[in-house]
Structure 1
Amino acid sequence: MSSFKSLNLNPLILEALTAKGYTKPTPIQEQSIAHILNKGDILGIAQTGTGKTAAFSLPILTNLAAHQVKLKPYHMRCLILTPTRELASQIEDNIKGYGKNLNISSAVIFGGVNPRAQVSKMAKGVDIVIATPGRLLDLMNGGHIKFDQLEIFVLDEADRMLDMGFINDVKKIITKIPQKRQTLLFSATMPKDIAELSRKLLKDPKRVEVTPESTTVEKIKQSINYVEKINKPLLLESILQDKSIKFALVFTRTKHGANRVVQHLERAKIAARAIHGNKSQAAREKALSEFKNGRIRVLVATDIAARGIDISSITHVINYNLPDDPKSYVHRIGRTARAGREGVAISFCEPAEVKLLKDIEKCINYKIPVDETHPFHGVPAQIVKKENVPAEKKELAGKKPQSRSYRRKRSFSSNSSKKQK
């Protein structure tokens, strides 16, 4: 593997990389940087944690610094379009870090905050704009965004744009940008709509695919915990009582579910915060900051909100609910085992989620090991006192529930008792 020094990047960028302790590029960086420096288009297929942000930002910074341009008001030289506020902020943080020794300006544009500061910054002209589609369209319609000087367009997390319903907004933006430009498209997966968009958007692109679609990181220790739905809060609590779990990211299916999980953990004296679309930008940033700084060790998130979380210290990912899309499982657990570290992914599976589990295992071509040692394995779907679970686990598993409504529900415990008969 080559070093960053051999990739013809700006020397001032190399100084910033050295200060961060980065010496060798990741595979996607090694395969992309030279082609982007030569102003070629890229079709990059890479899952979370492969280093794709640096793969495009390092050569973009080098090229912009090599040819300075006086920007007109409301104009930009590079547009990076991304699906979430968190990811936009994360990308700008990286760009500022890599380009701290360069005279390159940047700005983030996203919703959930007053647009006045964003408009004020654009009025001066900005080299690199990182934006979410909705707010960018709003500023475009208000006359605060101009594309006459645009040289580079980056579409990041293209598959997530599709999942979140932004694809039509993206297409509207594309019709307004110059035909003569460099285009870089990155996506973790390549559904038909994105493949079709890439054919229209890119000109003779280099395809960079560093891992097969929907593969999982080998350094992640995965497990399945079969559990009745009503016992999930107590199972999560019991897992998080382990103080060796320093940074845990918990995924729920819904925003309200995330709030309920946080409320349960706080009652159990476990510091946690929720991050999802109903939270204000200030609340989301505060929760992320507290998590990064170690003031809380549990962050509960929905898929959309978590897409931009790039925290290398996450040790555990816990799927409180299994995702409806099996490919989302790959993105979720990819939040751990970053920067060469190892990680743990624990997934809860209630009776109604068994089909989702089978779809996930088919997608990743891997049979996830089942953990039968956890204190709620085989415990019926009834409210139990957490302090009694370890001692009474076998007794509870053998009891038949009394309620008629329970007998009509699917459950692991009732299925296992039938087999025993």
Structure 2
Amino acid sequence: MTFASLGLSPALAHACAEAGFMAPSPIQVEAIPPLLRGQDLLGLAPTGSGKTAAFVLPLLQRLLASHPGGYRKVRVLVLVPTRELAAQVGDVFLRLAPASDRPLKVAVLHGGVSVNPQMLRLRSGADIVVATPGRLLDLLDRNAVRLDAVQVLVLDEADRLLDLGFAAERERVLGVLPGRRQNVLFSATFPPDVEDLAGALLHDAVRVEAETQVEAAPDIEQRTIAVDAARRTELLRHLVQQGGWRRVLVFVATRHATEHVARKLAGRGVPAAPLHGELSQSQRTGVLRDFREGGLDVLVTTDLAARGIDVPGLPVVVNYDLPRSPDDYVHRIGRTARAGARGTAVSFVSAASEAHMRLIEKRQGVRLAREQVAGFEPVEVEPPAPPDAGVGGIKGRRPSKKDKLRAAAAKAQGNGG
């Protein structure tokens, strides 16, 4: 199978070869032909499977085939949930766009940086906009961008964008788009409630599914280590130093924890830094650059980095805190073992988090043996289940903001609202 055989032009096939894409991946084989035909599409594919190029390539071909002169109107809008993913998708468009007399203009719009340079870039219009919803709405309010000519809407990491946390922003954006357009949704996971929302957005859609997470699992060695919560940082340092680990991505639950764990590791001789949403964009970019280039052994982050962070050859992911959602577990461990490589995902399991780990295992259809590391054997015992177990958040703790939004929406529906 070749890119040309999928219907891509010689110029795009050549651009793929220049980018090092020797043959289309399974998701590209499934997605490119229907996207070239203009069909709505729901794509389910794990991270690292080539799903970005799966929609970038056919959209580039369609844009280049009808490239009008004069002022550029936005014809393709790609919405993403994070700044980092916006930058990465924009880079793929630029890297795969063939050279032409009038190159396509890509505008990448996200927060964390001054809005003024983005407004200046939009003065002459753009063919493609890749944006986070909040910054896009800011620029719409400033009359810096118009979306009345959009022909294709792409939601990348669509399960996040269809979540209630993005509902108000998403609906505002949808309200200014033309009613007739192609809709494209891609994600690694689609929980049933999110898939229902996706179905309402799509029309006569093609569903493509390639290399599901279960099939990709053999490339990821999943380990669970039993340890008391208070000794996790010490165990992490031990594993990094004893195992000679380099470039370890560590997920924690809160911004405060990123700072605390990174500071403790650095104080014990492990080059580490935090990454969280309250850092400026220049700080986030600098930390990621240091991590990718080997200046840091450990990057401690929230779920900010569970999606849209591509670190080639990342060997190890550690769940210092378990993710609240089993679907987020899939996205977290998907940061390693990308593009056919192998990787390791380690989860720390305390007595208090054992029940939640069992739920994650159940959702993923796996059962992992609990390891113990000499010198770090746990002494805590699993607490009894609370009387209202199973009510509220997945972890059985105080409801999150997302849980409260879901409850409010359910109540409104129950009242006829």
Which TM-score band (shorter chain)? Answer: 0.7 to 0.9
Aligned to 2:295: 295
Q: After superposition, what is the alpha-carbon deviation per residue over 1:90-123, rounded to whole angstroms, capped at 9, x for unaligned?
A: 1111111111534111011111111001111111
Give SS of 1:29's match: helix
Are the counterparts in 1 of residues 240 and 246 from structure 2 also a CA contact under 8 Å?
no
Q: How many positions carry a matched residue from both structures? A: 382
Aligned to 1:26: 25
Aligned to 2:347: 347
Query: In the superposition, relative to structure 1, how do residues 347 and 270 fare at CA in structure 2: closer, same or farther (>3 Å)?
Result: same
TM norm structure 1: 0.86
> Partners in 2 of 1:374 and 1:33 — Cα distance?
51
Query: In the superposition, relative to structure 1, how do residues 193 and 373 fare at CA in structure 2: closer, same or farther (>3 Å)?
Result: closer
Query: In the superposition, relative to structure 1, how do residues 71 and 251 fare at CA in structure 2: closer, same or farther (>3 Å)?
Result: farther
Deviates more, 1:270-279 or 1:340-349: 270-279
Query: In the superposition, relative to structure 1, how do residues 206 and 71 fare at CA in structure 2: closer, same or farther (>3 Å)?
Result: farther
Aligned to 2:248: 248
Are the counterparts in 1 of residues 306 and 328 from structure 2 also a CA contact under 8 Å?
no
Aligned to 1:392: none
Aligned to 1:59: 58
> Partners in 2 of 1:247 and 1:72 — Cα distance?
45
Are the counterparts in 1 of residues 213 and 330 from structure 2 also a CA contact under 8 Å?
no
Aligned to 1:330: 330
Are the counterparts in 2 of residues 258 and 274 from structure 1 also a CA contact under 8 Å?
yes
Shift of residue 158 of structure 1? 1.5
Are the counterparts in 2 of residues 271 and 298 from structure 1 also a CA contact under 8 Å?
yes
Aligned to 2:394: none
Query: In the superposition, relative to structure 1, how do residues 4 and 375 fare at CA in structure 2: closer, same or farther (>3 Å)?
Result: farther
Percent identity (aligned): 39
Q: After superposition, what is the alpha-carbon deviation per residue over 1:377-418, rounded to whole angstroms, capped at 9, x for unaligned?
A: 23x47xxxxxxxxxxxxxxxxxxxxxxxxx9x959xxxxxxx
> Partners in 1 of 2:219 and 2:213 — Cα distance?
17
Which amino acid counterpart does residue 27 of structure 2 have in structure 1?
Answer: I
Shift of residue 204 of structure 1? 1.0
Are the counterparts in 1 of residues 227 and 372 from structure 2 also a CA contact under 8 Å?
no
Q: Which of 59, 67, 83 matches 1:85?
A: 83
Give SS of 1:48's match: coil
Are the counterparts in 1 of residues 155 and 161 from structure 2 also a CA contact under 8 Å?
no
Shift of residue 71 of structure 1? 5.4
The correspondence of residues 311-330 of structure 1 with structure 2, limited to 5 A, is 311-330=311-330
Shift of residue 187 of structure 1? 2.6
The correspondence of residues 269-280 of structure 1 with structure 2, limited to 5 A, is 269-280=269-280
Are the counterparts in 1 of residues 275 and 287 from structure 2 also a CA contact under 8 Å?
yes
Give SS of 2:75's match: strand
Are the counterparts in 2 of residues 323 and 356 from structure 1 also a CA contact under 8 Å?
no
The correspondence of residues 188-203 of structure 1 with structure 2, limited to 5 A, is 188-203=188-203
Aligned to 2:134: 134
Aligned to 2:282: 282
Shift of residue 248 of structure 1? 1.0
Shift of residue 43 of structure 1? 1.0
Are the counterparts in 1 of residues 19 and 96 from structure 2 also a CA contact under 8 Å?
no
Find runs of 4+ consecutive structure 1 residues off by over 6 angstroms.
none
Superposition RMSD in Å: 2.0
> Partners in 2 of 1:14 and 1:330 — Cα distance?
32
Which amino acid counterpart does residue 231 of structure 2 have in structure 1?
Answer: N
The correspondence of residues 253-268 of structure 1 with structure 2, limited to 5 A, is 253-268=253-268
